[in-house]
């Protein structure tokens, strides 16, 4: 279920606009069926704190795939010539400008404890439900699994969205 929340939040971040643009109207698809084994407990408390993780879009993914196969293929002259974490980040992670814009966007919505992974392909942060609902134009609810575990997630799923088709958004 945590993975589903991460995926939904990652998709929702894609609809965020830069500070200079007017707010876009989002069309959501409601998930009407709660998965088997889960029970809805009602809306999430607005002050409840969430810890969210977002996958960030990498640059040069075609080159990354080519490099992967080159270092993995025994017939390649680059076989086992692995890149360092620093080299991978420099070549494929979002640009420093994009990372700064993402951080500014999260801060604008009162996110705290913003942390990028060393590879700069994930960002995690804490935010209250009210601010997350505003940021992602969605509503969060509480659910309990038959095992007793509880989660907070959204049943409103924004449409798939690509930065490459919307260059004015957070990504370059």
What is the mean pLDDT for each group of 10 consecutive residues in the chain (172 residues)? 41 36 44 81 95 89 91 94 92 92 92 95 94 87 94 70 40 42
Residue 154 shares a structural domain with residue 107 = yes
CB-CB contact of 56 with 122 (8 Å): yes
Q: Is residue 83 part of a domain?
A: yes
pTM (two decimals): 0.68
Give the model's pLDDT for residue 137: 80
Residue 77 shares a structural domain with residue 43 = no
Give the model's pLDDT for residue 171: 43
- Domain ends where: 69, 92, 115? 92
What's the total number of domains in the chain? 2
Sheet holding 122-128, edge to edge: 49-55, 122-128, 112-116
Give the model's pLDDT for residue 29: 54
Q: Is residue 44 part of a domain?
A: yes
Give the model's pLDDT for residue 31: 58
Give the model's pLDDT for residue 23: 38
Q: Is residue 12 part of a domain?
A: yes
């Amino acid at each position: 279920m945590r993975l589903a929340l991460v995926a939904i939040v990652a998709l929702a971040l894609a609809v965020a606009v830069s500070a200079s643009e007017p707010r876009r109207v989002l069309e959501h698809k409601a998930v009407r069926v709660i998965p088997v084994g889960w029970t809805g407990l009602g809306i999430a408390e607005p002050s409840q704190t969430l810890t969210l993780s977002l996958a960030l879009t990498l640059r040069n993914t075609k080159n990354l795939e080519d490099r992967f196969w080159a270092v993995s293929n025994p017939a390649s002259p680059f076989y086992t010539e692995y890149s360092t974490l620093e080299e991978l980040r420099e070549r494929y992670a979002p640009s420093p400008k994009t990372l700064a814009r993402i951080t500014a966007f999260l801060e604008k919505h009162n996110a705290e404890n913003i942390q990028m992974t060393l590879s700069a392909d994930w960002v995690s942060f804490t935010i209250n439900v009210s601010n997350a609902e505003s940021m992602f134009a969605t509503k969060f609810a509480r659910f309990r699994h038959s095992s007793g575990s509880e989660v907070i997630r959204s049943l409103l799923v924004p449409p798939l969205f690509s930065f490459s088709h919307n260059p004015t958004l957070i990504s370059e």
